[in-house]
Amino acid sequence: MDPQAELEQALTSRLGGSTAPHSTELEPLLQVADRLRSGGGMPSPEFTAALQARVVARTQQLAAGRQHLTETQPLPARLQASDPARLPDTTRPTPLRRLRSLPAAAVLAATLLIVIGSTIAFAAGAAPGSSLYGLRRLEQGVRSQLSPDAVSKARLHLSYARDALMSLNTAGVQGNDGAYREALNTLASETQAAQSAAAQVPAGADRDALSADLTSFQTQATADLRAALPRLSWPTRATTTTVLGQMGATIPQVSKARVVTVHQSSSSHGTSLKVLRIVVDGSGFLPGAVILLDGHPAGTMISVTPFEAIAQLPSTDSIRGDGHSIGIGNPNGMAAYSTKYDTTDEQGDSGSSVDPNSDQETPVASPSPTPDAHSGGGHH
C-alpha cells in the first residue's frame, strides 16, 4: 500500500480511538500524531467566562451602534487592528510595549471583570421594571441556550416562568403597571418556551413529569392572573386575558366592532335626535359586560348576548376617525379589544323615543343602513 494512504488509514483509526495494522516505519509518525492530539489543552475557565462576557458586551455595543470600544479594552493596540486580512504596520504591537503595558492591562482587565461581574450579579436579582431586567433576561436566554438537553432546558424555562409569576403578583399588588406588564411578557414567553422544550423530550418518565409540572404551574398561573385582574387597568386586563387564553382559559374575543350614528326624529319635540351606538361582535361575552372605549367603560349598555354587545352614547361623543380602541369588559375582569372598527350612519324609525342623555336603558328601533352608510378605518 502507498505509505501516504497507509498513514491516512492508520491515523484515521488512531484518531477514532482504535488501531489499524501498519508498517513499523509509520510508528514514529503516529507517535508524533499522538503527542499532537494529547497536547494543546483548553483555556482556563476564568478566561473562558471573561472572554465570553467581552464577546457579548462587544456584540451589544456594536448592535447599539456604538464604536471604538477597543480603546477601553485590555489589549487596545491589537484589538483596534482586528482586520483578519490586513493589519497596518503602525498599529502592530511590540513585545516591549506589550510587556510595559502588562500591569496596566492587568488592572484594566481586572476592572473590566469586576464591572462585568458586578453588573451580571446585580442583574441576576433585577426585577421586572428595573433597568437591569433586560440584562437579566439576556443572561437567562444564554443560560437556556446552553442547556445540555431538552429536559434541562424545559425546567430552566419553567423556573424563569415561576420567577416571573412571583414578580407579577408583587407588581400587581403594588399597582406597578409597567413592572406587571414586563413580568407578564416574561411569563408568557417562558411558559411557551417551556412547553416547546417539553415537546422535544422523548416520551417517557421525564416527559410525563415535565407535563405534570407544567400543568400544575399553568393552573397556579391562571388562578393568580384571574385574581390580579380587578386591580388592573382595562388595557392591562386585555393583555392579561390574552395570556390567560394561551394558558387554556376561556376568554372573551372580539371579532368586529362598529360605531353607528343613528338619526331619529322625536315626535314630542318635533326635532331630530342623533345618538351613537357601539356594537361589538365576538364570543364569550358575559351578562353585565361593558363596552370599552379607549380603555374605559362607555355609554349605557343596551343589550348583551354571548356574541354581541351594544352600548349607546350621547351624540356629543365623537368616535369618528382613527386612534380609538373599542372592546368588551366582562364582569370577571377579562377584556378583549377589536383590531379595527367601522363607522356607519343609519336612519332610526320616527316613532322611537331615545333620550341620549339618560342613563336609563330605552328600547331602540332596529337600525337600518342608509345608502350613505360608510365604513371608517379606525385602528388602535
Partner 1 sequence: MTWPPNQPFERILAQARDLEPTAMSLLYSRFLPTVYRFIHARVSDPHQAEDVTAETFLAMVEHISQARAQDELSFAAWILGVARNKVLMYYRSSRTHQADSYEPAQMDHRPAEGDEGDPLAVLTAREHWQEIVAALNQLTDDQRTVVLYRCILGYSSDDVAKLMGKNNGTVRALQFRALASLARILEATSVNGGFRKRQAPSAKERGSQHGSSSRA
Residues engaged in binding partner 1 (CB under 8 A): 3-5, 7-8, 11-12, 15, 28-33, 35-37, 39-44, 47-48, 51-52, 54-56, 58-60, 62-63, 70, 73, 75, 78-79, 81-85, 87, 92-99, 138, 141-142, 145-150, 153, 200
Rounded Cα gap, residues 280 and 268, in angstroms: 31
Asked if 257 and 341 count as a contact pair (C-beta separation under 8 A), the reply is yes
Supply the minimum distance, in Å, between the C-beta of residue 148 and partner 1: 5
Pick between residue 39 and residue 323 the one whose CB is nearest to partner 1: 39
Supply the minimum distance, in Å, between the C-beta of residue 51 and partner 1: 5
Pick between residue 57 and residue 127 the one whose CB is nearest to partner 1: 57
Pick between residue 147 and residue 352 the one whose CB is nearest to partner 1: 147
Supply the minimum distance, in Å, between the C-beta of residue 161 and partner 1: 18
Pick between residue 19 and residue 318 the one whose CB is nearest to partner 1: 19
Pick between residue 149 and residue 361 the one whose CB is nearest to partner 1: 149
Say what the alpha-carbon torsion angle 349, 355, 357, 360 is, to the nearest 10 degrees: -110
Supply the minimum distance, in Å, between the C-beta of residue 85 and partner 1: 7
Pick between residue 25 and residue 355 the one whose CB is nearest to partner 1: 25
Supply the minimum distance, in Å, between the C-beta of residue 60 and partner 1: 6
Supply the minimum distance, in Å, between the C-beta of residue 177 and partner 1: 28
Pick between residue 59 and residue 375 the one whose CB is nearest to partner 1: 59
Q: Residue 41, by phi and psi: left (phi above 0), alpha (psi -120 to 50) or beta?
A: left
Supply the minimum distance, in Å, between the C-beta of residue 140 and partner 1: 10
C-alpha to C-alpha distances, 16 to 6, 21, 322, nearest whole angstrom:
15, 14, 69
